[in-house]
Structure 1
Amino acid sequence: MTDTSAADGIPISGDPKSLRVLSTTDLAGIDISLADVVATVEGAYRTLHAGQSDNPRKLTVKPQDGHSVSYAMLGRDGSRNVVAIKTSYKHGLDKGREEQHYYTALTIYDDTTGLPVAMMDCSRIGSLRTPAVSALLARECAAPGARSALVIGTGTQGRLALPFLLTTLPNLDRLMVFGTHPDGIATVREQLRVHFPDRDIEIVTDVRAAASDADVIVATAGDHTPAAIEAEWLKPGALSVLVGHGLAPSTLHRADRVIATSEAQMNVTGTDMADDDGKLPAVDSEFPPVLAGITAGRLSSTERIFAYNSGLVVTDIALGHHFAQLAIAQGLGTEVPLWQ
């Protein structure tokens, strides 16, 4: 027996004791455009702002020595009528990137039928969702006529940062990258050419000089990066988006305007940007009302804006559900009798 999701009529398992599991390999073969990802993520923000979705603050567990960190995020997407929980666990934060372990999963339930939809590896979802949010922040908060972008870091979140930026800001004509891993730099170039074959990156080594020329800076690096861009390096009108590391706290505390995807989450996960008293400044606006046109992304062309990009689980849910729909339609995944 099968049932269909109320969101779009995609068949789902009708056995309440079974769960469809979508592996990394299952999701890797699904073709989806960058524009589709951006639209899906934007829709999740708009639904949240409309009061139709729920996005409670994430729970965090971290041992005293800081060698690992774990997150749990529960949410509900009101437009898709689905409930989901995402878990994230990273081990080896005190070690090099090669020795670290990272696992993240998303489990989705259809809140109309009451049946499970799927459990999936969430790594590809996150690798797409986060740069899509940065690109939306850039679209709404970059100075008019922005032409140059600098990406700090070449890891998972840095590799698609430029393709997504070009999706929302197609007039960017100078694409700079700072990274310390040759393989990562090569992957950034490769990913850009996959989506924009006629474009190439400019590899920079002088972070200060590059930052002073950049209209948009997206900092995605790990915590071992030597980059720490200071506020005084930024040109008037610059937008700095923090995803990982690469920006010094001064870029936040001396910003003319502060935007956060979630102020509550910034206060939980952004403590490394606190001042000497351990405090973070209040945000001028969260991002959902900016997207909805209720508040302004920027008030003048010369404002230096700091944007904090912390993932909201409703965006994972929307994109994860979209992937699940595509996967189920293609017959991907494995039905597991989990509750038998």
Structure 2
Amino acid sequence: MPDVSVSDVTYEDLAQLEQEFDDAELQTLREQHKIYAPLYKKRQEVVAKIPSFWALVLEQAPTEFENYTTPSDSQVFADALKSIEVERFEIDDPNGSPRSVAIRFHFDSNEYFEDKVLEKKFWHRRALDGWSGIVSEPVKISWKKGKDLTQGLTDAAAALFAARKKQDAAQNGSSNGQSKASKIAKLPEYKAIIDKIENNTEAALSFFTWFGFVSSHGYVTAEESAEASKKEAEKRAKRANGEKVEDEDVDEKDDEEDFFDESEICPSGEEVAEIIVNELWPQAIKYFTAAQEADDDDLSELEDADLDDEDDDDEPVDIRSLVPGKGKKENGSSASPPPKKRRT
């Protein structure tokens, strides 16, 4: 039986220590930024001279990222993706967070959309209920007629977000006895997005739905985050003085979490962002090199392969087969690559 003894360590001691670890992590991000920023700039200049560099990086992306792209997405990357950038845009902002990031995709002209740059911003914020994490605003993509890979999902996400902001401004913070979830559920834009999610299951697999992602928690405004951060700072000061801090009760959150899950067109949006920021961006050269090595291996294996075998429906798309001069396509073949694995 383990020895059970009385400890004089309090919850406040542990919470204070946890905050110190968090502060250290933020300081580490700031120091890393100073070291890596000029190297990332140099890398961008070098890889800009390499055809299809970023498309091949995405081809070697972790399986988790691979599950969020379709054959059409892969074709867009192979044909038009010029570069990817990640910027910590609040790194020097005393009121911001070094965890906030902007992810930019640069494209050549293509048959799907007019945009040359698609930028997705993620703000790291704190909610009044104690949650902290990233939130984003939907990006409206200028799809060409009949070419929307999300079948209206990104447009619907942008419309709902705009309607919510208008509703909040009109009510000026007054709840009128209604939860936030119940108020938003009455918006026609909410009903429209639910209908599109239910009836466009294939389109919901597209990577481009990620541009409509808002949050795994629910959107947190800058004003709410500032208020929550102020309250957290006050709690921390009390703990540092040895005072006991009582956690506030939050009544409304349980029913809202289910609500936001239903209206979110890309539930795994945070995971996708983390893969880009923490893996693909810092290790891009490694992933590109792996694509070259995989290409050499595939060419040698092709000599012994049975070319009459039927395509495996579960085989992921090989972007190298879409990039001129790369991959496993037979000379003169115009066959489409096999479909990407679906999300589960």
Which bracket does the TM-score occupy, shorter chain normalised?
Answer: under 0.3
**Larger Rg belongs to:** 2
> TM-score, structure 1 length as denominator?
0.26
The structure carrying a bigger strand percent of its residues is: 1
Higher helix share: 2
TM-score (norm 2): 0.26
